[in-house]
Amino acid sequence: ADCRIAVLVGSLRKESLNRRLSRALTGLAPEGFGFHELRIDDLPLYNQDEDEHPAASVDRFRKDVSRADALLIVTPEYNRSIPGVLKNALDQGSRPMGHNAWAGKPAGVIGIALGSCGTALAQQHLRNILAVLNVPTMAQPEAFIGYYDGLFTDEGGIGERSREFLQSWMDKYIAWVKLFCS
Ligand code: FNR
């Protein structure tokens, strides 16, 4: 692929709606974009004492982030913010001091919840974090997805009612990423 996109999913749950959404979105991207989900479930809790001697999983994670050209972050909202596992992954990738692996990589943020206004506050918190990590994040369009029966097709795509909206979000995300990756 010409452009490697690292996908971060803020839920570790096997049946995660956010993971399903991330996979369905990937299917809406044009050729030339390679998506791969970064593993975050084996990262230890960030501890500054380990900066110079990171666990193998942390070392691998930082390298995976560095190799990516762009980021797609698909996350649930937990108690009006982002899940701790996602914050931990963002922290792990940001250190040691002076080696912020996220810097300069364009991102898109999106999320799905059970309620209709779900993930709005999580996404807003995430935007604050991404700003300090020097990640240029697509401002618009925003997308706060509320789950309903039929959102996903049996094949894992997006059902008819939401396809046009999410295709349009994805088209704009790809256009945003293209500004940064040749
Ligand atoms: C939630 N959920 C939730 N939803 C929301 O819209 N706002 C919130 O603040 C919270 N808080 C929250 C806390 C915790 C600890 C859990 C487990 C859940 C519900 C959440 O949207 C729902 O469980 C989603 O299905 C989680 O995403 P995944 O795991 O399906 O991707």
The SS3 call for residue 1 is coil
Residue partners of 133: CB distance under 8 A and separation at least 6: 90, 94, 100, 102, 103
Q: What domains lie within the chain, and their CATH numbers? A: 3-178 (3.40.50.360)
Of ligand 1's listed atoms, the one at least distance from the Cα of 75 is 31
Residue 92 has pLDDT above 90, yes or no: yes
State whether the beta carbon of 80 lies less than 6 angstroms from ligand 1.
yes
Range with the poorest average pLDDT among 92-106, 113-127, 130-144, 158-172: 113-127
- Measure the CA–CA gap between 107 and 38, rounded to whole angstroms: 14
Residue partners of 158: CB distance under 8 A and separation at least 6: 24, 25, 27, 28, 151, 152, 166, 167
Q: Mean pLDDT in the chain?
A: 96
State whether the beta carbon of 131 lies less than 6 angstroms from ligand 1.
no
Question: Are 61 and 55 contacting, i.e. CB atoms less than 8 angstroms apart?
Answer: no
- Measure the CA–CA gap between 180 and 132, rounded to whole angstroms: 19
State whether the beta carbon of 79 lies less than 6 angstroms from ligand 1.
yes
Residue 38 has pLDDT above 90, yes or no: yes
pLDDT attached to residue 115: 82
Residue 40 has pLDDT above 70, yes or no: yes
State whether the beta carbon of 11 lies less than 6 angstroms from ligand 1.
yes
Average pLDDT over residues 67-89: 98
pLDDT attached to residue 1: 60
